[in-house]
Amino acid sequence: MTVLTSDARPVEAEAARRRSIAVISHPDAGKSTLTEALALHAHAIDEAGAVHGKGNRAGVVSDWLEMEQKRGISITSAALQFAYGDVVINLLDTPGHADFSEDTYRVLTAVDAAVMLLDSAKGLEPQTLKLFEVCRRRGVPVITFVNKWDRPGREALELCDELEERINLRPTPLSWPIGEAGRFLGLLDRASGEVRTYKRAPGGASIAEEKLLTPQAAADTLGDDHTEAVESVQLLDELDRESFLAGTTTPLLFGAALANIGVKQLLDAVVELAPAPGARPDVDGGARDVDQSFSGFVFKMQAGMDPNHRDHVAFIRVCSGRFERGMVVTHERTGRPFATKYALSVFGRERQTVEDAYPGDVVGLVNASTLAVGDTVFDAAGPHVRFPPMPVFAPEHFAAARSADPGRSKQFRKGISQLEQEGVVQVLVSEARGDGNPILGAVGPLQFEVATFRMEHEFSAPIRTEQLGLSLAREAAPEHIDTIAAYPGVEVVRRGDGTPLVLLRDVWHARAFERAHPDVPLIPLVASAV
């Protein structure tokens, strides 16, 4: 869906009406469902779908990869852009599964706020905790939405206590449920005291029918349940936007995404509270103001969005200035000019040509084969800029890969190279094995499944993988490589940037080596730019 803008508006005005947000949570908390519900309430789609589809309903628009639709999980981030009133929302749905954390972490570099989704029955889960810590370190403010209140779950005040006790984030409710989880009678608006009751649409395919009650009418109709809700919400602090932006409080809302309940209130909160794009720090310690000439960075590469074409798309977060289709930009890493003739506005898998874009927007550049995740691009006529690199995480799983058909070695090499460029897996090469038998490194084993699937279906180069009994990667100085390579059970490889890495079985294996060679340091890998 292309969002039209006016040439008469200056860049600062266009940036001010942008909101760029990510939806983060543990797997199965309902991220993709909430993404669709938000698009539905903004009238960007006519009917919500479900991952596996029911009747004539389509699949979730943000889960467009075949593997996602078959397994019912998000394994890659998806970008959606739509208008809500006069505000343009750039919404990034992210994978919840821990095996795809790297993709989510990269997305968090491209947004200005996040919606943290909690399952009403489970509260804060391990992956949610990890993602929240990334938000905190990056200074990304968080709005919290407690989902699935139409199902049995925990008490609302208990969930609030957990937020404060476990992550030191003080909840400031904007809405409050009437009735316990599983007996959802309505939502209390804290500011006005009004109550919305809901009648769920069949299958949750459309917006739930709602009825607005005055405080007195709600008290008369809902009785003790209303009284309890009013008394409970008064125990908690009221909204303070400054502390929200500082990351010490979180606006809190309740609802049920599958039933499309409470979603409009969340949209309104995003518009009113989430910050608009601002000055972006560069590697030199300065900041790129939104009204400077065009600049942006690649936070994601994705292939296979269009099964009829073997293209791949570079997703760029616009940081400053106005992007115009066809403009010539400079690829900062190579210093070479890059034409932007094929520029897209994306809506899940759907794409339309975009003529211009502004700070906060996400632009897809087609067939940008020279670009890679983390690259900076800027207006060729403007000043040089380079934004901080993307985080690279230490892999914990390793598998040796080889082509299942030796006659397709060319396709094998091309596919492996593209998967590395997109950040699907890390590709490590050892002199002993050669580049025809690379080692794939991953944060989680499901990444190998994705790589195997895509190698066969996109590149017609089926691969065989052999899981290695290694789980630890360390960096080493080049002068120590021969000593390290002679140690039993160690595999020495080189990363794509030329950095030598040492792969070991586990931490005890590493400690045994360090005792045997105290003068040869093994340096832990640390994620950069997080």
Residues 245 and 157 in one domain: yes
How large a percentage of the chain has pLDDT more than 70? Answer: 85
> Residue 63: which pLDDT band, with cuts at 50, 70 and 90?
very low
Residues 102 and 243 in one domain: yes
What was the pLDDT predicted at 346? Answer: 61
Residues 261 and 301 in one domain: no
pTM strictly above 0.85: no
* Residue 453 clears pLDDT 90, i.e. is over it: no
> Residue 294: which pLDDT band, with cuts at 50, 70 and 90?
very high
User: What is the tally of structural domains in the chain?
Assistant: 3
Q: How far apart are CA 426 and CA 215, in angstroms?
A: 57
Range of the domain at 23: 11-273
Residue 408 forms part of a structural domain = yes
Radius of gyration over every alpha carbon of the chain, rounded to an integer in angstroms? 24
Q: How many residues does the chain have?
A: 530
Q: How far apart are CA 3 and CA 83, in angstroms?
A: 6
The CATH number given to whatever domain includes residue 169 is 3.40.50.300
Report the run of H or E that residue 225 belongs to, with start and end: helix 224-233
Residues 401 and 333 in one domain: no
Whole-Å CA distances, 383 to 321, 322, 362, 386, 388: 12, 15, 22, 10, 17
* 407 assigned binding-site residue: no
Residues 357 and 505 in one domain: no
Residues 81 and 216 in one domain: yes
Residue 118 forms part of a structural domain = yes
- When comparing pLDDT for 180 and 338, which is higher? 180
The string of pLDDT tens digits covering residues 381-438 is 889 999 998 776 778 889 999 999 988 889 999 888 878 877 778 899 988 888 789 9
Residues 103 and 138 in one domain: yes
216 by Cβ neighbours in 10 Å (0-12 / 13-18 / 19+) ranks as: exposed
* 97 assigned binding-site residue: yes
The string of pLDDT tens digits covering residues 167-177 is 999 999 999 99
Secondary structure of 403-417 in HEC code, one letter for each residue: ECCHHHHHHHHHHHH
Q: Which of 103, 107, 106 is nearest to 92 (CA)?
A: 107
* 93 assigned binding-site residue: yes
The CATH number given to whatever domain includes residue 443 is 3.30.70.3280
Q: Which of 19, 15, 3 is nearest to 90 (CA)?
A: 19
* 43 assigned binding-site residue: no
Domain's final residue, options 329, 349, 379: 379
Residues 43 and 128 in one domain: yes
Q: How far apart are CA 405 and CA 217, in angstroms?
A: 72
